[in-house]
A = this chain, B = another copy of it.
């Protein structure tokens, strides 16, 4: 499926573009935000709610589904989409990131990893988030029951073929931002060997799934560009990667640098997914720097703690000022929560400890982020991107 990505419009003077990705379960209009359904469910939301929020794609985590309920059960149930009642496009990640950040190392030679709390859905229950990396792959203990497991590129691809998502991801090592340059380089070269092994296994298994290669290299320009060139080369050959994931631990400033370096080199005619990014400013910068897809747990995680997106930044609905506030979370928002419920009601649900609190808040946050990507897409198509971006960022403040 060489040409399954169509670019509708490129935004002059930037790397931004609007496009359409084709999958076996329908089209994905880009730029877009992918909902994260870690364990084959987007926390606190039904798939109908996701549809209403405008979500086009759900990404599940390979690490989690492999451990529970098991990838073979998901296969037997008809694949991820059927299992979780989502008839649109689906994705899985490679499992590598969670094996490092959630799995505990066993045996000798463990490599210390920094667990990045804002990028993982759950904290590890083990004291030290360690995993053992060898040329073969990553050994780890389950965060659920301590059982021992090994992910290799081949095993990751096999598991992802069982889970059966439309878009899957090559096995990679996501290094800590605190790792030395020497370790970054060593890890990157291994990740490239793993990319090749992932691709070979994927081709051997066959089928309609699309495979993304993952660009790594931390904040080191040389490594990022090396990684982009390596994957680009592997993808221009017939049967190469169908698109690219951009991995790493990013802060706000990295989007304009590391992400831009990479997208300037990656082949234009394949989609690019910026892994684990969900803050509004980061999405805007990511789009401007050539990314087509984004995913993050933050809309639902923030939602469950009462932190709600507005155009002025996130508000904490538990603040006493909202207790008797009968206005919707955000005037002008077209989500189901804002259409039917007041801030006072949602604040009441949080105070009362009711599950619906997290659900209504997550509906709003998901719609907010998805709508942002819809508007960015429209701004590219209409040539109003700079205006849109400036207006948005002038109003938007980081969370209360």
The stretch that binds B, out of A256-264, A352-360, A376-384, A387-395, is: A352-360
Q: Which of B43, B323, B355, B358 contacts A69 (CB 8 A)?
A: B323
27 A-B interface contacts by CB (under 8 A)? A39-B348, A39-B349, A39-B354, A40-B345, A40-B348, A41-B349, A41-B352, A41-B356, A43-B356, A46-B356, A68-B348, A68-B351, A68-B352, A69-B344, A69-B351, A73-B324, A73-B344, A73-B348, A77-B326, A77-B344, A77-B345, A83-B342, A84-B345, A85-B340, A85-B341, A85-B345, A355-B359
Given A41-B352, A41-B354, list of 5 further CB < 8 A pairs?
Answer: A39-B348, A43-B354, A69-B323, A76-B324, A77-B344
Contacting residues, chain B, for A344 (C-beta < 8 A): 69, 73, 77
Give the bracket for the number of chain A residues in contact with chain B: 20 to 34
A326 touching B76 by the CB < 8 A rule? yes
Q: Give the CA-CA distance A344 to B70 in the complex, in Å.
A: 11
Contacting residues, chain B, for A45 (C-beta < 8 A): 356
A324 CB → nearest B CB, Å:
6
A358 touching B355 by the CB < 8 A rule? yes
Complex interface residues of chain A between 42 and 72 (CB less than 8 A to chain B): 43-46, 64, 68-69
Instruction: Count the copies.
Output: 2
Q: Give the CA-CA distance A56 to B297 in the complex, in Å.
A: 36
Q: Give the CA-CA distance A64 to B46 in the complex, in Å.
A: 28
Contacting residues, chain B, for A44 (C-beta < 8 A): 355-356
Contacting residues, chain B, for A354 (C-beta < 8 A): 39, 41, 43
Q: Give the CA-CA distance A84 to B354 in the complex, in Å.
A: 13
Chain B residue with Cβ nearest A42: B356
Q: Give the CA-CA distance A351 to B70 in the complex, in Å.
A: 12
Chain B residue with Cβ nearest A49: B46
Q: Give the CA-CA distance A83 to B342 in the complex, in Å.
A: 8
Q: Give the CA-CA distance A218 to B278 in the complex, in Å.
A: 58
Chain B residue with Cβ nearest A77: B326
Contacting residues, chain B, for A326 (C-beta < 8 A): 76-77
Q: Which of B77, B347, B358 contacts A342 (CB 8 A)?
A: B77
Contacting residues, chain B, for A83 (C-beta < 8 A): 342, 345
Q: Give the CA-CA distance A358 to B358 in the complex, in Å.
A: 14
A347 CB → nearest B CB, Å:
8
A126 CB → nearest B CB, Å:
17
Q: Give the CA-CA distance A176 to B308 in the complex, in Å.
A: 45
A231 CB → nearest B CB, Å:
33
Q: Give the CA-CA distance A349 to B348 in the complex, in Å.
A: 27
Complex interface residues of chain A between 305 and 360 (CB less than 8 A to chain B): 323-324, 326, 340-342, 344-345, 347-349, 351-352, 354-356, 358-359
A182 CB → nearest B CB, Å:
39
Q: Give the CA-CA distance A162 to B45 in the complex, in Å.
A: 32
A358 CB → nearest B CB, Å:
7
Complex interface residues of chain A between 68 and 117 (CB less than 8 A to chain B): 68-69, 73, 76-77, 83-85
Q: Give the CA-CA distance A345 to B348 in the complex, in Å.
A: 31
